[in-house]
C-alpha cells in the first residue's frame, strides 16, 4: 500500500483536466488516476495503463500545465515493480 496521495493542487488540476472537453485521452486517464488517489485514506495506486498515459503526457511538449501536474502526481504514485 502506498502512503502517497494526490495533493490539493494536483487534485484541482486533475478535476479541471477531466472537465475540459479539449484534453486528450492520456491526460484524462492520468488525471482520473490522480484524482482517485486524493483521499488520504485511499489504498489505490496508479495502474500500469495510467502510468504509461502519464508518461506520454509528460513527454508531450504540447500538453498543458494542468495535465502535466495531474500526470506527475499519478506517476509519482505508481508502485515500484522491483525491476529498476
- C-alpha 81, offset from chain centre: 18
What pLDDT is recorded for position 9?
95
Identify which of 58, 21, 59 has the alpha carbon closest to the alpha carbon of residue 34: 58
What pLDDT is recorded for position 4?
85
Over the chain (84 residues), what is each successive 10-residue block's mean pLDDT? 83 97 97 92 90 97 97 92 61
**Which grid cell is 30?**
492520468
What pLDDT is recorded for position 42?
78
| Cα–Cα dist 64/73, whole Å | 15
The b-or-e profile of 19-42 (16+ CB within 10 A means b, else e) is eeeebeebbbbbbbbbbbbbeeee
pTM of the shown model: 0.87
What pLDDT is recorded for position 2?
59
What pLDDT is recorded for position 39?
87
Amino acid at each position: 500500500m502506498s502512503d502517497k496521495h494526490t495533493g490539493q493542487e494536483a487534485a484541482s488540476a486533475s478535476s479541471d483536466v477531466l472537465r475540459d472537453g479539449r484534453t486528450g485521452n492520456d491526460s484524462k486517464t492520468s488525471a482520473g488516476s490522480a484524482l482517485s488517489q486524493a483521499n488520504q485514506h485511499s489504498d489505490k495506486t496508479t495502474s500500469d495503463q495510467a502510468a504509461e498515459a502519464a508518461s506520454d503526457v509528460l513527454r508531450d511538449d504540447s500538453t498543458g500545465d494542468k495535465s502535466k501536474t495531474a500526470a506527475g502526481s499519478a506517476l509519482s504514485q505508481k508502485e515500484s515493480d522491483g525491476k529498476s
